Amino acid sequence: MKIVILKNSDEVAAYGADIFVRFISKKPAAVLGLATGSTPVALYKQLISAYEQNRVSFKAVSTFNLDEYLGIAAEHPQSYRYFMNHQLFNHIDIDKQNTQVPQGDAEDPFAACERYESAIKKKGGIDIQLLGIGRNGHIGFNEPSSSLMSRTRVKTLTRATIDDNARFFSADEYQPHLSLTMGIGTILESKKVVLLATGESKADAVKAMVEGPLTASCPASALQMHQDAVVIVDDAAASKLLDVDFYKHIEMENRKLNERFDR
Ligand code: F6R
C-alpha cells in the first residue's frame, strides 16, 4: 500500500486526478472503476478541466461504478447514475454507452449483479479503480463483516451508512436501505486501486485500513492484500496514523525515483 499524505482536499483531488489522466494517456481505452459520494467530486472537476484543456480524452474509455441504491431508477436525482451523469459524464467526451452503473431498478437485482460481474470480465477487468472510504471502513457498499472474497451482490446498508447518506435525501424522501455493490473480491481484482480520504471524520477508518489488522470488520483493510493500491489522504484524515513522517519520507523517495527513472 502506498500512502500519500497531502495538505488538504484540493491537493488530494489534484494528485488523484493526475494519476487518472496519466493512466488514460498511456491506455486510451482504459476500463475505469468509479465511485460516488462527496470525496470524488473534486477529482471529477479536475478531470473535466483536464478534458477541457485537451490534456485527456475519454472517447475510448469504459467505466463501471462501484454501487447503486436498490429500488431507485437511473432518473432519480439521488441515484448514482444521475450523480455520475451530472458530476462527470455530461461534461466530458465519454460515450455513455460505455458507462455502467449497477441497475437499481432491475426486476431481478440478483441477476443484475451477475450480469454486472460478467460485463466487467468481458471488458477484461477494471484497470484502475477509484474508491472513497466510509467512516466505518466500508468500500463500495461493502459494510463491516462483508466477505473479503465477495462479488457484486445485493447488500444491506448499516445504520451508520444510512445516517451518513441521509444528508443527500430530503426529510420526506424515501431513502433506500439496500444496495447493489461490487464485492471486495471484485475490487481486489482491479489492476490498480486509488483510494481518497479527506477530513478528520475519516481518520479512524484510515488508521484501521492502513495500520489495523486485515479484517472484515474494516473492509478497506483488504487493500493491504492489493499489489498496487495508492491511498491519498489529507493531513486531517492521516492524523491518527502512527508513522506519518515515515509515510511522507517514503513518498519523497518515490518521487525522486519516479523522476530519475521517468515513471
Ligand atoms: C460510493 C461508495 C462509498 C463512498 C463512501 C465515502 O460509490 O462507494 O463507499 O466512497 O461512503 O463517501 P463520502 O465520499 O461521501 O464520504
- The Å distance, Cα 146 to ligand 1 centre, comes to 16
CA distance 4 to 234: 8
pLDDT, tens digit, for every residue of 127-182?
Answer: 999 999 999 999 999 999 999 999 999 999 999 999 999 998 998 888 999 999 99
Residue 136 annotated among the catalytic residues of the structure: yes
Q: What phi and psi, each to the nearest 5 degrees, are found at residue 228? A: -140, 70
Q: Is the Cβ atom of 138 under 6 angstroms away from ligand 1?
A: yes
Quick one: pLDDT at residue 109? 98
Return the residue whose CA atom lies nearest to atom 4 of ligand 1.
Answer: 132
Angle between helices 40-52 and 9-26 (to 10 degrees): 50
Q: Are 206 and 233 in contact (CB under 8 A)?
A: yes
67 is catalytic: yes
pLDDT for residue 80: 97
pTM strictly above 0.85: yes
pLDDT averaged over 10-residue windows placed end to end, the chain, 263 residues: 97 98 98 98 98 98 98 94 98 98 97 98 98 97 97 96 91 93 98 98 98 98 98 98 94 92 82
* pLDDT recorded at residue 263: 77
- Could you give the CA distance from residue 109 to residue 92 in angstroms, rounded to a whole number? 30
The Cα 259–Cα 157 span in angstroms is 44
**143 assigned to active site:** yes
Ligand 1 atom with the smallest distance to the CA of 39 is: 14
pLDDT digits (tens, 9 = 90+) for 152-162: 999 999 999 99
Angle at 91 between CA 87 and CA 96, to 5 degrees: 90
pLDDT at 171: 87
Q: What is the DSSP letter of 243?
A: T
CA-based angle 22:5:167, to the nearest 5? 90
The three grid cell numbers given for residue 224, joined into one nine-digit string: 493491504
DSSP 8-class letter at 38: S
